[in-house]
Chain A
Amino acid sequence: AQSVSQHNHHVILSEAASLELGCNYSYGGTVNLFWYVQYPGQHLQLLLKYFSGDPLVKGIKGFEAEFIKSKFSFNLRKPSVQWSDTAEYFCAVKKYNNNDMRFGAGTRLTVKP
Chain B
Amino acid sequence: DVKVTQSSRYLVKRTGEKVFLECVQDMDHENMFWYRQDPGLGLRLIYFSYDVKMKEKGDIPEGYSVSREKKERFSLILESASTNQTSMYLCASSRRTSRPETQYFGPGTRLLVL
19 further A-B contacts with Cβ under 8 Å, apart from A46-B102, A100-B33, are: A9-B40, A32-B100, A34-B100, A43-B107, A43-B108, A44-B92, A45-B105, A46-B103, A90-B43, A96-B100, A100-B45, A101-B103, A102-B59, A103-B35, A103-B42, A103-B44, A104-B42, A105-B40, A106-B43
| Interface of chain A residues 38 through 66 with chain B (CB within 8 A) | 43-46, 49, 51
Contact A99 B96 (CB under 8 A): yes
How many CB-defined contacts (below 8 Å) exist between A and B?
54
Report how far A4 CA is from B42 CA in the complex, Å: 10
Instruction: State which size class the interface on B falls in.
Output: 20 to 34
| Chain B proximity mask over A1-44: 1 for CB below 8 Å, otherwise 0 | 00010100100000000000000000000001010100000011
Report how far A6 CA is from B59 CA in the complex, Å: 18
* Chain B positions near chain A (C-beta within 8 angstroms): 31, 33, 35, 40-45, 48, 50, 56, 58-59, 90, 92, 96, 98-100, 102-103, 105-108
Which residue of chain B has its CB nearest to the CB of A90? B42
Which residue of chain A has its CB nearest to the CB of B44? A103
- Whether A94 sits at the interface, judged by CB under 8 Å, is yes
Instruction: State which size class the interface on A falls in.
Output: 20 to 34
Contact A44 B90 (CB under 8 A): yes
Which residue of chain A has its CB nearest to the CB of B107? A43
**Residues on the B chain within 8 Å of A45, using CB:** 105
Known A100-B45, A100-B48, A100-B56; judge A44-B105 contact (CB<8 A).
Answer: yes
- Whether A97 sits at the interface, judged by CB under 8 Å, is yes
